[in-house]
A and B are shown apart, each in its own frame.
Chain A
Amino acid sequence: MVPTDPQGVLTGAHFLDGDYACAEGAMAAGCRFFGGYPITPSTEVAERITQRFPMMNGIFIQMEDEMASMNAVLGAAWAGKKSMTCTSGPGFSLMMENLGLGVMLETPCVVVNVQRGGPSTGLPTLPGQADMMQARWGSHGDYEIIALSPNSPQESFDLMVDCFNLSERYRVPVLFMMDECVGHMTERVVIPSAENILVEERRYTADPPDKHLPYKADENLVPPMTPTGKGYRFHVTGLTHDERGYPVINADAQNKIVRRLVEKIRKNAADIIMLEEEQVAGADVVVLSYGISSRVVIPAVEKARSQGVKVGTMRLITVWPFPEERIREIAANVNSLVMVELNLGQVFLEMDRCARGQCKTFLVPHCGGWVHDPEDIYNVLMEAAK
């Protein structure tokens, strides 16, 4: 990795909301293309980009809708830019088909979803965490995706840099699953100097144009990109393709490409997964959470600890891929696992699956529109400790 382009870095201590911090993180990571369609509560991300892009020769296009936005983002990535879009539930739904195209073409880009309450237009101005399974499975076909979730404006900045780096390293769209609460919350955000922000540069092929196979993967299962405007002729298609990038419509080609798309994430899961664990060793109850819920959990955990309950916490910074092995390991050593999320059981299902019946599992549900009352979390923790 190399230090980033200082043009995009607003070094200093700022008082920013999560949306603005997310935009600053993108620009610090080297993002210079944004294609999107405004939607509450993500509009401030686009707003900040429009204010700052002219100073760094970035290109901002407001597209006619979210389907076109996603396509513009993919096109810009292939043209050589680090590119992104941002949206919320309804727009995220519209992006799903072309998100799958991004997965199939192995296009590095970042899609921000500032989650609000759903289904449909739901609660435009209030928080939700109910698009998590859509993030995992929303486009058709078999694939693996990367999704990160911040719990503060500072982390909105920090993790956006990680999102871009992961998307370059694994050539996959990375989903940044914020929530309205973090997006519209204003806090201190410290932006480091450019030399302290390390970014993954786009990795291009070293083969000459006549020897180049655009989809020939390296030992890490990721193919280097093909540059545009340098004399390489190549073809990209959403159809099942071979190493040359040409359509091959049979089971053998399908087996090769889908397996690689999935395995490049699964086999590198240890590099991708970021977790924050606290007092997990020796705990009777371990509570999992992500995004804003991970902050609301802490007062409940402290109260339960004051009652003598041994509670550990695990925060999912990376939600997808899921820390399957770690959960299985913990499940073997605790009485209960508890999931706190602003939905009626989504990531909970993964936790429950990975526990494999080794311990009890509990969900603290919430339909969104607000955050959990720590008291409700506390009550479940006490029940889980029994």
Chain B
Amino acid sequence: MARTEIRISGLGGQGVILSGYIIGRAAAIFDTNFATMTQSFGPEARGSACSCQVILSEERVLYPYIRKPQILVVMSQEAYDKFAPELADDGILLIDSDLVKINGRHGSAVTFGIPATRFAEELGRKIVLNIIMIGFFTAMTGIVKEDAAREAILQSIPKGTEELNLKAFKRGLEYGKELRAKGTSKTKAASKPSRPAAKGKAAKASP
């Protein structure tokens, strides 16, 4: 895996930072890659669009910040409006399809949507929206292994919530796999294979 830049964004309280932490932890602790996570500590971290950045690589990460992410996860409209323009042309955009209306700002990046907040509510706790997103992320990008993601979730959540969180992960993962199997997406993603950076690792999830 070459250097892959990921931004996860949403509103403060949606578990944005934890999502980045879990993805980084999955790659760096439960898989064999390097991961560097940074986060914003500005006014944006206190209420409005909140974001964290994760860089995954087979080699040590040198430049610590993302510049043109290949993967953007957005869980709010504001986050989409703010961060979509920086997404790489061959990138992947993952959205909560109930909360985000795409309007072309993301250019030619492939878009996949999941009603994650609704699914979380169906599971009984809106709070697991971010874990559903991680499941979806795992299925759609293939950049972290399923087992690694599962392990990282279990190590990063409060004791006693394992069952709920694993259900949430599974929900997102399976929805993503079905989407891939159908070869459909909200936009022109259908015929496009996984982006190059996810090659190999994506094999399992590829249709």
A residues apposed to B, CB below 8 Å = 13-15, 17, 40-41, 125, 181, 184-188, 292, 295-296, 298-299, 370-371, 374
Contact = CB atoms under 8 A, between A and B. Distances in A.
Contacts of A14: 29
Which A-B residue pairs are the 10 nearest by beta carbons? A125-B41, A186-B37, A15-B25, A188-B28, A295-B62, A298-B62, A13-B29, A187-B36, A185-B38, A15-B29
11 contacts: A13-B29, A15-B37, A17-B37, A186-B24, A186-B37, A186-B38, A187-B34, A187-B37, A292-B64, A296-B62, A371-B64
A371 B66 CA distance: 12
A187 B28 contact: yes
B36 A185 contact: yes
A384 to B, nearest CB: 20
B63 A374 contact: yes
Interface on chain A toward B: helix, strand, loop, or mixed SS? mixed
A125 B42 contact: yes
A371 B38 contact: no
A188 B62 contact: no
Nearest to B40: A125
B140 interface: no
Given A40-B41, A184-B39, A184-B41, A296 B63 contact: yes
A186 B62 CA distance: 13
Nearest to B156: A15
A13 B32 CA distance: 12
A253 to B, nearest CB: 49
Given A15-B29, A299-B62, A188 B35 contact: yes
B119 interface: no
Contact of A371 (B24, B25, B35, B65): B65
A370 B65 CA distance: 9
A36 B62 CA distance: 32
A15 B144 CA distance: 15
Between A184, A292, A370, the greatest number of chain B beta carbons within 10 A of the residue's beta carbon is seen for A184
B97 to A, nearest CB: 29
B165 to A, nearest CB: 17
Contacts of A370: 65
Contacts of A371: 63-65
B136 interface: no
Interface of B: 21, 24-25, 28-29, 34-42, 61-65
A17 B20 CA distance: 13
B62 A15 contact: no
A296 B39 CA distance: 18
Nearest to B54: A186
Contacts of B24: 15, 186-187
B42 to A, nearest CB: 6
A186 B41 contact: no
Contact of B63 (A15, A40, A299): A299
Q: Which of B37, B61, B62 has the most CB of A within 10 A?
A: B62
B62 A181 contact: no
B20 to A, nearest CB: 8
Given A15-B24, A371-B65, A185 B37 contact: yes
Contacts of B29: 13-15, 188
Contacts of B37: 15, 17, 185-187
B36 A15 contact: no
B42 A181 contact: no
A40 B34 CA distance: 27
Given A15-B28, A292-B64, A299-B62, 19 more contacts: A13-B29, A14-B29, A15-B29, A15-B35, A125-B42, A185-B37, A187-B24, A187-B35, A187-B36, A187-B61, A188-B34, A188-B35, A295-B61, A295-B62, A295-B63, A296-B62, A298-B62, A370-B65, A371-B64
A295 B62 CA distance: 5
B10 to A, nearest CB: 18
Nearest to A294: B62
A185 B34 CA distance: 13
A248 to B, nearest CB: 50
B32 to A, nearest CB: 10
Contacts of B21: 15, 186
A126 B129 CA distance: 30
A81 to B, nearest CB: 31
A104 B139 CA distance: 61
Given A15-B21, A188-B28, A188-B29, A41 B41 contact: yes
A298 B36 CA distance: 16
Contacts of A295: 61-64
Contacts of A296: 62-64
A125 B63 CA distance: 18
Contacts of A15: 21, 24-25, 28-29, 35, 37
A184 B35 CA distance: 14
A371 B35 CA distance: 18
Contacts of A41: 41
A184 B61 CA distance: 15
B46 to A, nearest CB: 11
Contacts of A188: 28-29, 34-35
